[in-house]
Structures are given as structure tokens and as C-alpha cells.
Chains A and B, each alone.
Chain A
Amino acid sequence: MSENTSSGNGRPPAARRRKVVITGISGRLGRIVAKRLHHELDWHIVGLDRRPMQGRPKDIEHHQVDLRSKKARDIFRAGDVDALLHLGVMHDPRARPAEIYSWNITGTTKLLEYCQAYRVPKVVLLSSANVYGPRPDNPQFLTEDAPLLAAQRFPQMRDLVEIDHLVSTFMWRAREVDTVILRPVHIIGPVHNAPSNYLRIDRPPVLLGFDPMVQLIHVDDVAEAIALALTPGRRGIYNLVGPGEVPLSAVLRELGRQPLAIPHPVARPVLQLAFRLGISSFPVAELDFIRYVCMVDGRRASAELGFRPQLGLRETIHAVDEPA
């Protein structure tokens, strides 16, 4: 094991390309990250996703399997995997909670088991700054040591919080594996996630009398941070922040949206109904994200990973309207 982690500056022999297994590669974010690692950093990419991968370059290997299945284990069995990049956290608000829970928790546990058993020297989890939870008594900037309280008011976040805990426990238990947990703020870009989808609405609902400061990060900057996290020797938990902090209203103004202000006692039942009728895909608890502050301190990532966001605030905000 030790020769794997401590081999000089960590570069494997030039004869063999480094091999990274990416879970959840079929999502927009997965494809963006995979392309970057593939083209610019010359990794050998192995995709692991239940879904097929659209527009897959020929030399990207893809396995359309369940994380929990035997076939997933076979990918690691050869012992030539240099890194696991875990993006495959499922959070479909429409799917059965039990199924999602099993996928997320059992899936992650199995992956970590394989990594330890087959000597994968690097594990990177893309978590989220949302695990801290939006709360009225949050300090303006949460550090990596803050408790992960999102699940308290927000059952949909429970899985992500638990995965984050699983991986951070793994980080301390499996000392021979360089484990990195990244907790980016709202990822913005041509991706399908809650913040980007929300910012694409023409008349997005906002809560009357609330206008929290928000932090956004461009998906390309997240890809950059992932590349940095894959560098051998780096381990730890890092918040990832983008180019700055702005009020939600300024973001919507910049995009030319016309927000619809709803008093919060009304917003809850209305959104609940809309969700049930299938008009909206936003779970009610997510309202807290447009009500309270949930911002993080990114100084550790900048000091230890050397991460600096490359895109400015305006570019990052307008990235929601970029074509995929």
C-alpha cells in the first residue's frame, strides 16, 4: 500500500494512465467533470452509473450497473484503480425514500469497502455546503468543523449528511487512503440541480421580507477543485466557495428574473400542494434555502488545496443559461 501513496510526487509510471472510477457520471455534472479529467488531465475514466452515458467518447469506459451489485465490485477487483470520485449521490425528490436511502447508504458503504479491500489510494466525495443547513442562528461563514445540522429540518438532506459522515469516518479509519470531502456551495451551470433549476425559472418564488446572502460556484470551478483534490497526498474536508457573496435578489435581478414574493406562512402550504400535484419539483423544506443564510468559509481549500475560483460573480450567475 505504502508504495502506492508515497511514490515520489505521486505520479504513476508514464506507461500507464491513472484510472479514476466516477460514480454518477451520467449526470450533467458527472459528464463535465469526466470530460475535464479525460481531456485536460489525461485520466483513464471509468464511469459507474445506473443510467447510460449520453455522448460518451469512445475511450471512456462505462459500466451501467448498480453501485450495490457484484459487478461494481469487479471494477475494483483488478486493483488498478487510482482513485474513486463519488458523485453518485441520489436525491430524486420523487423516488421512494427507502430506495434512495438504500442506494445512497449501502452503495457508499460498499464503495468504501472496495476501496479499502483493493487498495485504491484516493477517494473524493462531492458533498455539499448544504449539509450544514440553513438556519437563522448560523454564523455568517461556517467552517468545516461546524456540525452538519441540515437533516434536522430537512429530511431530504439526511442521506447526504449520512454519506458525508460515512466518508469522514472512513477518512480517519482508513489512514492509508487519501480521502477528500468537498463541500461546494450552490453549483451553478448547465446542470440539473436545485439551485440552477431555481434560477432558470422566469418568475421564481421568493419569500416576502427575506433576502439571504448566497454563495454560488461555477461547475467548471468545481471540476477544477476535484482535479486538485485528486492530487496525491491531499486529504481532508474542504468547503468550496465561488467568487463571492450576493443577496438572492441581486442574483435574480442580474438574470432579469421577476421574483414572485410570497409571505412565508402561505408559501409552505402552496408549495406543498404544487409539489403533490407535480407542478413543482422543489420539496417544501428547501424554502429555508431562500430564507436563511447557509454560507461557508472557503479559506481552508484555498490554503491547503490551492483552490481559487477562476470565474467571476457575473459569469457564474449567467452560467445557468449556458447551453449544455
Chain B
Amino acid sequence: MGLLDRLRQFRGAHPPPDDDIDGRARALVVHGNEFGYDPFGLSRDSFASAAKVARWIYRSYFRASAFGVEHIPATGRVIFVANHSGQLPFDGLVIASAAFLEPQQPRLVRSMVEYFVPSVPFASYLFSRWGQITGTPENCRRLLASEEAVLVFPEGARGISKPFSRRYQLADFGKGFMRLALEMQAPVVPVAVIGAEEQAPAVNLKPLARLFRAPSFPIVPYPPFVPLVPLPVKYRVYFGDPMRFAGDPDDDDDVLDAQVKTVKNRIQSMLHVGLREREHVFW
């Protein structure tokens, strides 16, 4: 028994189940053409290779547990709305892996990447091969119209870059997802992610952020002092009951506010429940 296994046993982790990545990838619904690419550049083969790495991160590094997997609709359009935290966007990876690995029928979750990503070499096309898209409302509309699953972090950069002192307190929610849900008649599945907040406990150095014109400049209290590699925290992902909304997508912000608040409160209470159930940050 190797040292790693011993450590694993010590912290009480179970050996990860054998996931049939290739079989699951074949079971995904991909609207590909004769070259195997969908209109957004997703390729099933590239997705399967990425899923192997994602599986290791999900199962072995973060030893993630998913709860409420039965709330993930097997088919049809859906908007996953989640809290965003932890300086590095591993929460997106964990949610996508959970939706791919845990339910009977795997779902391909398309998350929105930042506008700068298409100008970064390699990330520019790799993200699109893996099904991630530039976060414009038109793109979401198109994907929902073709019955796909979209992941939205309504807190955006405000959420991911918030300091450790405000962990598990939701930042302001944008209203774009609600307009989309109303317009496209798509159910909203609230998702609470626990663990990401502790993966890189950071403070935000605002003067440096201003200097580099970055949205934030996080510093962590251990080398290399910038959050590059997340700590091996244990992730817990809670999927809530799908919520359906009706109304006019072009209503004023105040009208939408109430509906957005319903989702936000639901996620906040799922966070409270999850935090209460959690025994330790790392296991």
C-alpha cells in the first residue's frame, strides 16, 4: 500500500468508482456535422479526452460528492445557476463533471467563458472543443433553443474574486439569466457549490488590481502567493429542484428582481444546509 493510499485511507476517502468516460461521451447529445463538430466547435472526441482529466480532478483531487443528482433533467433545455467562488474557476469544472459523471444520462454543461478567452492562444479553441462558449446572450439563446444545458454564474467576477472573509455570502446576482429563462421558457436548476471558497483563501489587493487594470489581484498566504493551484479541498455540489418562472423577459429590473431573489435565496439556503452537513473542509 503506497503512501498516497494510506493518506487516502486516513482521511476516509473511498476509491473512486470506475467511470466509463468513453461510453458516457457516446451517450451525450452532440449536434455534430459530418466532421464531428457542432456549430460552437464542440467535438465529442476532444470532450472525452478532457473529461478524463476532469474526472481525475473531480474524483481524486477534490473527491467531490454530488447531491440531488436526480434534479438534473435528463433531456431538454435547462439553465444551471450556481454560486461562483474560489479565485480559480474550478467550480465550473466540478459542476460540469458532476453533470457528466453522476446521473444515469450524462449531460453536457456549457459554461460561459470570459470575453478575453478567445484571444488567448490554445484556450481560444480548446475551450470551444470542450463545449465552453463565449458568454453572450445570443449564444445562450441558441444553445437553449437546441435543448442544451447552460451553466451561469450570475455573480460573475464579483463572486469568484471575493475575499476569504466573505466566503459563502452571495454577491449581487446579475439578471441576465432570468431574462433568458423567461424568454426561452427554460427551467432553472439552482446549484450550491461548497468547498471552492477554501481552495484559495485570498485577500484582494485593490491597488495592485488597479495598477494592472485587472478585475482583482488576489494574494494567498502561502507560496507562490498567487492562486495558481487550488488546495485539495473536498467539493460538495448540491443540485436543487428545477424552478420554473413565467413573465415578460423585457420587464424592468425591479420586476425581475423578485424572481432573481427567489433563486438567490434558494442557493443561499442550500449553502447553509451544505455547510451544516460538512464535517471538515478537506474531507
Contact = CB atoms under 8 A, between A and B. Distances in A.
Interface stretch (B19-27, B34-42, B148-156, B176-184): B34-42
A247 B119 contact: no
Interface stretch (B79-87, B136-144, B212-220, B249-257): B136-144
Interface string B121-141: 111110010000110101100
Contact of B37 (A141, A207, A208, A245): A245
A261 B123 CA distance: 16
B37 A313 contact: no
Contacts of A243: 33
Chain A contact residues, majority secondary structure: loop
Interface string A231-266: 000000000000111110010001000000001100
A250 B37 contact: yes
A209 B34 contact: no
A12 B139 CA distance: 44
A84 B114 CA distance: 45
Interface stretch (A122-130, A167-175, A178-186, A210-218): A210-218
A140 interface: yes
Nearest to B121: A209
B118 A140 contact: no
Contacts of B125: 209-212, 247
A247 B124 contact: no
Contacts of A139: 134, 136, 138-139
B118 A141 contact: no
A297 B116 CA distance: 23
A209 B122 CA distance: 4
Nearest to A146: B138
A314 interface: yes
A97 interface: no
Contact of A213 (B41, B120, B142): B41
B222 interface: no
A313 B139 contact: no
Contacts of B124: 136, 209-212, 291
Contacts of B41: 213, 245, 247
B115 interface: yes
B200 to A, nearest CB: 26
Interface string B36-59: 010111000000000000000000
Interface in B209-229: none
A244 to B, nearest CB: 4
B118 A136 contact: yes
A137 B119 CA distance: 9
19 contacts: A136-B116, A136-B124, A136-B134, A140-B40, A140-B134, A207-B121, A208-B121, A209-B121, A210-B121, A213-B128, A244-B35, A245-B37, A246-B37, A247-B37, A247-B125, A291-B119, A291-B124, A313-B33, A313-B34
Given A243-B33, A313-B34, 6 more contacts: A136-B134, A137-B136, A207-B121, A209-B121, A245-B37, A313-B33
